[in-house]
Copies of this chain bind each other. A is one copy, B any other.
């Protein structure tokens, strides 16, 4: 097939390559002249013939919204846009509505796999009409991993379902990462376990906790056994936040995913206002004098809370 691809960052760049290896013709556009095939959206559209297929891989939020709006003007009835970025599923519903007014179809596609996707393939979750999904299937088949289609691709539901599924995927991912991380720290803190990387590596096969994320952690420890080259400072993207907010909207308890999210927030605070408040309260128990006081020299004590 011939397809337009907007956004050639780390993800889009590799996806173009994987599609081409599968024999598809890809016209790529990016703001960066170094990587693009055409110089603008108009040129990209001109290179395609109807019914056109344009895949978006630009940052979620305003950049995606703006690209959808521009393409709505450039595309023709019967064309199809696939939003493969990380849009919030409610945005998808607005995109679909806008494009429907121009007779342009819309699918949302959650894409997982990171830089490994080029070789391994990408896990795909798609939302939208079955007929449109069918039309784009050669593209999905090229992007997804080899093996049975249903093990790397799902038609999850109507518009938004693909990104909803991806949102939940990322929320789960936060929880999984934090679970391994807490275990790592506890092994690290132990007096009896003397070879932490060896223990994690031994979990690679046969154990209940074996996973691709575990393999990645083992890999990281291979080159940096104490993870000393890194700081414990972790960003979060929108999807973890949306997962918890959506859980709240549905009254679904999400203690693990939210704990993982909050651990990231806390990791970025050089000093926590909340913990200053707790420290202030503890000082108040002990009286103002406590603030300057060193350890008591007597046998007496004041516990916190006594």
Contact B296 A10 (CB under 8 A): yes
Within 8 A of B (CB), among A231-275: 231-241, 243-269, 271-275
> Cβ of B216 and Cβ of A281 under 8 Å apart?
yes
A151-B201, A202-B154, A232-B274 given; A30·B175 CB < 8 A:
no
Instruction: Digitize A271-306: 1 where CB-to-B-CB distance is under 8 Å, 0 elsewhere.
Output: 111111111111111110011000011111111111
> Does A80 count as interface, using CB distance less than 8 angstroms?
no
A173 within 8 A of B: yes
Q: How far is the CA of A217 from the CA of B284 in the complex (A)?
A: 8
With the chains together, A231 CA to B282 CA distance in Å?
Answer: 12
A164 adjacent to B193 (CB under 8 Å): yes
The CA-CA distance from A302 to B200 in the complex, in Å, is 22
B234 engages A275 (CB within 8 Å): yes
**Contact, CB under 8 Å: B161 / A193:** yes
Interface presence of A179 (CB below 8 A): yes
Question: How far is B276's CA from A121's CA once the two chains are assembled, in angstroms?
Answer: 28
A305 and B237 form a contact (CB under 8 A)? yes
Q: Is the C-beta of A150 less than 8 angstroms from some C-beta in chain B?
A: yes
**A10 in contact with B161 (CB, 8 Å):** no
Chain A 1-38 interface 0/1 with B at a Cβ cutoff of 8 Å (1 = within)? 00000111111110000000000000000111001000
Residues of B within 8 A of A124 (CB): 202, 206
A85 touches B301 (CB 8 A): yes
Which of B59, B114, B227, B301 interacts with A273 by CB under 8 Å? B227
Q: Which residues of B contact A176 (CB under 8 A)?
A: 175-176, 179, 209, 211
Q: A154-B199, A182-B253, A233-B279 known; 19 other A-B pairs, CB under 8 Å?
A: A10-B287, A115-B285, A115-B286, A154-B202, A156-B199, A157-B195, A164-B190, A165-B193, A176-B211, A178-B274, A182-B247, A183-B243, A183-B257, A184-B273, A186-B252, A189-B273, A236-B304, A240-B304, A256-B263
